[in-house]
Amino acid sequence: MSATFHHGQQQAGNRRQWRAMPRCGRLCLLSLVLAISRGTGTASAATNDIFPGDYYAINPGDKVFSLYLFDRANVGPYLGGEQVADSKVKGRIGAIRGVSAFSLAGLTATAVAVLSCADLKPSSAALGDVIGSHSTGLGDLRLGMTIWPINHRQTANYLGVTAMVIAPTGHYISDQLLNYGENRWRWVLAGGWQKDITPRLLIELSPELTLYGDNRNYAAGQRLEQDPALALTGYLRWRLNPSFHLHIGAQRNWGGATRVDGLALKNPPENTRLNLGLTWFLPGKQQLILRLAEETQIENGFRIERELALRYQKVF
């Protein structure tokens, strides 16, 4: 039997299992699947994963290339703050980001494009039979612009404002519940403030608002809607010396409850994530950031039990 035929046969079996389920069972499963997608990084955290120094204003004419690698282990799901099952989901995500800086009306501005890919796997074979054993492919394309109304190098005070659109270009299979691409538009308005407190200590704060379009082909042709979501990310960074910085950070997320065919699932994640890490400045305008993180509290969804993130960055 060819792999293609077997895959098509498995998808048809998934559709039959899905449509044969009672409506209440489907809604419970949808809540679970949405929890899985949150736990693997598509919705639980701020839409833009902010790293230390992201709102430092580079010089017009500079270009930045960044490579991201994430390894996440998730446990749950949680409902109303209580863990209701001991399932695990693993996600491995890679992304590339390109940034170009220029001057706009006398202000520093940057244009950014981000493309990601992922491999997501539920640990349970029974769950995989219904929602899909894995989701592998490209994510949705992100295009954005940031403008710095405050860019004072003398006082080390920076404030940037970002607008971003995320297009539904990622890999999406409508007959499979587990997908990395989201098959919907998203719009993000964010900001970032960075300020030196002392010559060795600085603070960073980044609020974010995300608005979601509808996915009209979700789970056998149903309509998925999502409330706006808010996030706040913060870092404290210590300059050990010019080459090494240590940081601790936190992120809090609010809102983002979903509805399927108009029925409210009442499942906002309402989660808190803590992280710590190291920034290493290398010769030739290169940089490495290593970050460890976990979610310490969550109301609904899969909790990130462990995240290891690595970012390489080069300024040209």
Residue 125 pLDDT > 80: no
Question: In this predicted model, what pLDDT tens digit does every residue of 62-100 receive, in sequence order?
Answer: 999 999 999 998 887 788 888 887 778 788 999 999 999
- Residue 224 belongs to what H/E stretch? strand 222-226
Residue 276 pLDDT > 70: yes
Residue 274 pLDDT > 90: yes
Question: In this predicted model, what pLDDT tens digit does every residue of 302-314 receive, in sequence order?
Answer: 889 999 999 999 9
pTM for this prediction: 0.85
Backbone dihedral region for residue 240 (phi beyond 0: left; psi -120 to 50: alpha; all else: beta): alpha
φ, ψ of residue 50 to 5 degrees: the values are -80, 130
pLDDT score for 33: 54
E strand map for 105-156? 107-122, 135-138, 142-152
Q: Domain of 234?
A: 3-315
Name the nearest CA neighbour of 56 among 149, 151, 125, 137. 151
Q: In the predicted model, what is the mean pLDDT of residues 185-200? A: 96
Contact 213, 227 (CB under 8 A): no
Instruction: Report how far apart the first and last C-alpha atoms of the chain are (Å, whole number).
Output: 51
Q: What is the CATH number of the domain that holds 21?
A: 2.40.128.130
pLDDT score for 18: 41
- Residue 126 belongs to what H/E stretch? helix 125-131
| Higher pLDDT among residues 165 and 126, named by residue | 165
pLDDT confidence band for 273 (50 / 70 / 90) = very high
- Count of structural domains, the chain: 1
